[in-house]
Every structure is written in structure tokens, then in C-alpha cells.
Amino acid sequence: MKKFFLLTLAMLLMTAGMAVAEEGGLEIGLDYRFRVDSLKGTVQEHYSIMQGLFDPTYAGTPGHDIKNDTIFMNRLGMNLKANPVEDVSMKARLVMYKVSGHETAGPATGSYFMDRFQVMDGTSGHVPQDNVVRVDYAYATVSNIFGAPAWFSVGRRPSTGGAPTNYRQNNEKQGTAGIPGIMVDMAFDGMTLGYAPDIDALPGSYIKLCYGRGFETGLQEKSASLKDTDFYGLNAALYDTETTHVELQYQLGVNIFDAPSDGMIVSAPASTSMPGVTLDMNAPVTTNLGDIHWVGGLYTTKISNLNLFATAAMSKTDPSGNTNMFGYGMLNDGPGKDKRTGYGVYVGGRYDVVKTGTKIGVEYNHGTKNWIGMVPAGDDLWTSKLGTRGDVYEVYVIQSLNRKPIAKKGEAFVRLGYQYYDFEYTGSNSWIGASSKISELTMASPQLLSPVDKAQDIYLTFDVRF
């Protein structure tokens, strides 16, 4: 009787779930990825500030090679979409991204780049970690506001994987929720107000105002000077058709934090009697280093089976004069208020061989000495390539398994790629401290993170989606 009762209850729950799916327009999709990378690189000689704090005999670190012959990863994602009431939609993505043979992000992070120093709020679900299922995004949207072609959306934003990074991921371009990938590739919580006018000369055009909270101070004394970090954006898609997309964006980051938003784990010797044993301490955000302005644009086009793109952006700092716990300000060594301007460009293309299901892509991006991209969630193991100060070259081949889809939107493919990083200046994907030419560093040059000079990544993925 007990088994019969449990079976009946399970059938009722399944039936109820199916009814909700039909009445609410619920759509469920799954995706799985297996990935393996082979990494190698070289570190320029330098003086590590952190090591020097705890080791009085330390005289500097000579140049050396680093590598990880193979690192395996598994990622599982669930995509949910529902329309519970008229003109209201909900979307969510849950994701587990795990390093094989480990229950921490340790093998995928390190003391080389700020965006891969540790997992933080902006990279949660995008840097391989453990087998915990996390919320990548979850938001609700109200459309047709006052009968106009306007919408308001709030929640954990779909602010990662924006165009044109979707080409190498073998994804379709995001709709009106997308953001240029060279300017923002970061998970955050916020809201958007958008408007899509019907203009014959500008098909598919829309404009939207965006807001996001990048760091929350929490309760503190009324006299405290630490402020929340907020981001504001104005995005305009001037032209959006199946073959051509033109987009412009301005964004502003206010009161930028001086450490990863969830704090920075600093390792120190536990005691002199236990050599090789370290104690991890969390160094929280303590001050605001200033503001950063960005402006950029994106152009994509499709000519037959050839997809081409070009995107560029400028960043400009406005330092507050404050410094972090190590005495560094915003692109200044010390409390200086010198404003720095940087530029980033990203170009490439992908040719699709429809007959064989093969896609061949080539990409190149360059960042200048003071370029800052808010892109820590980029799908790259070394560091998010679009925040690099220097050059990155990438080639890849995507091959579909060419099997008949059984599930809706079912597909399976493999992707083989190669990345080559040529770092010219220190501080890629960071705004802390002045940027230095890597080739000029010596064992007396103080550095917060180990300066990587050259790096390579050969990767292979196997993706299944429906």
C-alpha cells in the first residue's frame, strides 16, 4: 500500500507539472559540456609583494615556466522560461561547473590574474568550481508597458556571453537582453528599462537603460566612507536584422571596489613551526578607488555563410585618490589621481560549411596599456581574453555530430581550439595599480600578481543541448 501511495503521488505531481507547463508556457532546456584544456605559459621575473610580506629572506622571483598538461571540467546547465500572466515572462538558468577530481576552484584559479584569483560574485557559474548547482541568471520582464513597445526587467541579469563572443560558443546572438561582450561579460544583479520604436529605416532598433549593483556594503557605521558600487549603462541597437547588427553603448561604474567584491583570500604562513602550511585570511573590500567610464560599439554582418564582426571600446578612469591595503590606487601606484585611458579591439569571423556541419573561426583582440574591460566571466581559462593588455590570437573548429534531432532544439558538437596570449603590460583584467611593460620587469619590480608574459591554451569541448 505504501508503494502504491508513493507511485500515485508521483504521478499526480508529474501531471500537475505538465499542466503548469502547458498553461504557463513553461519551456525547459538542458545543456552539458565536457571540456579539457592543456595550458602552458611563462612568468616574467618580478618581486612578489605578498611573498615579501611574510618572508624576510625573499629576494625576488626569477622568470619561470608554468603548465597544466590536462585539466578536465564538466558543466551542466538548465534553462527555464515561462509566461505566467499576459505580458510577463520569467527566465532563469541554473548551472553546475566543476573541475574534475576537485571540489574547489583551486586548479582553475591562481595568483596570475585578478579575474581568476578566486571565484567571486561576477564569475560565479563561469569559473569551474565544484558540483553545487548555482543560479546563473533569474529575472522577470514586463512588456507592453502602457500599451507601448516598452519593457521593464529586473533580477540576476543575462549579462554574460554577449555578441560577438557567441560565435565561438556556437550560440545564437542574445535578443534585447544582450550586451556587447567586449564591454561587459560579468554576472550581476540589476534592472533594465527598454523601448523598441518601429522605424522603417532602422529595423529591429531599440534603446535601453541599464542599472546593476556590483558591490553591496551591508550594514556599517553611519560615518563610514565605504560606498556601494553601481553600474549604469545606455545601450542602443541602431540596426538589427538576420544579417546585420549595429550597436552602441556607454556605461559608467561608480565607486569601484578595491578587491574582489566578496573579499580577497590572502594566504600567509600559519606559523614558523609548520613550514609549508598556510593560513587563508579574507581581506574584504575596504575602500572605493574611483569611477570608470566606457564607450564602445559593435558591428556584425553575415555574407552567405561567412560571419564577420568588429567591435571596439574605450575605458577612462577617474580615481578617487584612495588606495587598497597594499597602497595601490586605480591605475596608480599610490594615492595619485592621474586619469588613464585605454582601448580594446576585437575582430574576427566564422565560416560555416553547411553541408558537413563544420564551422571554422579566427579571432584577434588587442588591449592597450591602460585598457580595462569589465569581462571577468569570459569563457577562457587563463584569463578573460577581452580584458588582455596585449594581443590574443584564437582559431577553432566546430564540428556537428550531424545526428537527427529527437528533442526540440537538440544538437551535439565538438569544438577544438587554440589560444595564444602575448601580454605586453601587467594588470590584465584589473584596475588596481599602474600598468608596467612586462619585458622591462626585474626581480626588484614589485607586483601584486605574478606577471605572465606568454601563454597558450589548447582546448577541446563536447557539447550536447536540447
Q: Where are the beta strands (DSSP E) in 100-243?
A: 134-143, 150-156, 189-195, 206-215, 229-240
What's the confidence (pLDDT) of residue 309?
98
CA-to-CA dists, residue 130 to 100, 160, 187, 290, 460, angstroms: 9, 20, 18, 34, 20
What's the confidence (pLDDT) of residue 5?
42
Three-state SS for 196? coil
Beta bridge partners of 91: 81, 139
What's the confidence (pLDDT) of residue 279?
58
What's the confidence (pLDDT) of residue 271?
57
- Dihedral of CA atoms 441, 424, 267, 285 in degrees, nearest 10, equals 120
Question: C-alpha cell of 161?
Answer: 556571453
What's the confidence (pLDDT) of residue 340?
98
State the residue for C-alpha cell 583570500: 265
What's the confidence (pLDDT) of residue 270?
59
What's the confidence (pLDDT) of residue 168?
97
How far apart, in whole angstroms, are the C-alpha atoms of residue 74 and residue 68?
17
What's the confidence (pLDDT) of residue 86?
94
Question: C-alpha cell of 190?
Answer: 540589476
What's the confidence (pLDDT) of residue 18?
40
State the residue for C-alpha cell 600578481: 449
What's the confidence (pLDDT) of residue 20?
43
Average pLDDT of each block of 10 consecutive residues along the chain (466 residues)? 43 41 74 98 95 88 97 98 95 97 92 93 94 96 96 96 96 89 95 94 95 94 94 97 96 93 70 58 86 98 98 98 93 95 98 97 98 97 98 98 89 98 98 97 96 98 97
> What is the Cα Rg of the chain in Å?
23
How far apart, in whole angstroms, are the C-alpha atoms of residue 352 and residue 7?
49
